[in-house]
Structure 1
Amino acid sequence: MADDEDVVEEEVQLEERGESEVALSPVLAEKPLAPPLYEVRPGLGGKFQAANVKEIIMSTMQEQLMGRQYRSDQAVKWAKSIANGVRQRVQELDMKRYKILVQTIVMEMKGAGVKCGQRCIWDPETDDYVGDLYKNDTIFCYTTVYGVYMY
């Protein structure tokens, strides 16, 4: 109510100066806001592009690890550069509203086996993941990219 009284006082002061009412109320001049648009599903062609992402993963791992021998002091640096490179190139695909998560594992090939598992709770219609493996005589590298649609 106090706000209404302030507006009335301003109108009186402006009328005394001879100004029109259109100039005095900027609130009336604003257009009403459009209703918010809620995107619950990605549009046509907007889903996670698993085939393109797989190509990016493999090319990035080959660029970083081709011709190298495993070194424990460099493995962390290689894993970070692969993960960051993959994430940056996947984001350039411009999949709108997707959160991109990248996980890279670099290990030494010594003949021992490795078993890994993953479990995710998500919407199977919109969310997806893809992973690829690179190995040479001394390096075993596995990179996984998760694409989670943000509602």
Structure 2
Amino acid sequence: MADEEVAEEEEVAPIIDDTEILIGTTTEKPLAPPKYEVRPGLGEKFQSQNVREIILEAMQSQLTGRQYRADQAAHWSKVIANAVRQKVCELDMKRYKIMAQSTIIEMKGAGVKCAQRCIWDPETDTYVDDIFKNESLFCYTIVYGVYMY
């Protein structure tokens, strides 16, 4: 009997459903589903012509009137690549990863062969390249624009 009395005295607290409280008092709108931009908008595509002009301007300003010097070629190449990348980034092409590469070699009649590979989406990713040459040097600069999904 003592056990029955103890059992009768305990009161069970009512279970409150949290979802009812939240729904009844919440005034905020539900969040919209996230947007995943898989393609650039109409006015947000890579601006190839503007990038080509930037490449030419940077190479001409750095190399016009210069003769090839092995000790300075690496520095010139870095200056060109950094200037091109900075000016292309100022074009504010949203969601594009910009990479610039510049190569300077001496004009001695020897050939150069090179290849590049990467994962590429031909609908959104692109590149622009141009060359500058004079009687003693050859400069090849390339800018990649890779759309970040």
* TM-score category (smaller protein): 0.7 to 0.9
Per the TM alignment, residue 28 of structure 1 is displaced from its structure 2 partner at its CA by 4.2
Q: Whose Rg is larger?
A: 2
The C-alpha deviation readout for 1:76-100, integer Å capped at 9, x for no partner, is: 1101000000000111111100000
Pick one of 57, 60, 63 that aligns with 2:58. 60
1:134 and 1:116 map into 2 onto residues whose CA distance is: 17
Structure 2: runs of 5+ lacking an equivalent: 1-24
Across the aligned residues of Structure 1 and Structure 2, the Cα RMSD in angstroms comes to: 1.9
Identity %: 71
With structure 1 as the length reference, what TM-score do the two structures score? 0.77
Per the TM alignment, residue 72 of structure 1 is displaced from its structure 2 partner at its CA by 0.8
Structure 1: runs of 5+ lacking an equivalent: 1-26
Runs of 4+ aligned structure 1 residues displaced above 6 Å come to none
Alignment correspondent of 2:121: 123
With structure 2 as the length reference, what TM-score do the two structures score? 0.78
Pick one of 28, 32, 47 that aligns with 2:45. 47
1:109 and 2:107 matched: yes
The C-alpha deviation readout for 1:96-115, integer Å capped at 9, x for no partner, is: 00000111101111111222
How many pairs align? 127
Pick one of 90, 93, 96 that aligns with 1:95. 93
* Matched AA of 1:81: V
Secondary structure in 2 matching 1:107: strand
Alignment correspondent of 2:136: 138
* Matched AA of 2:49: A
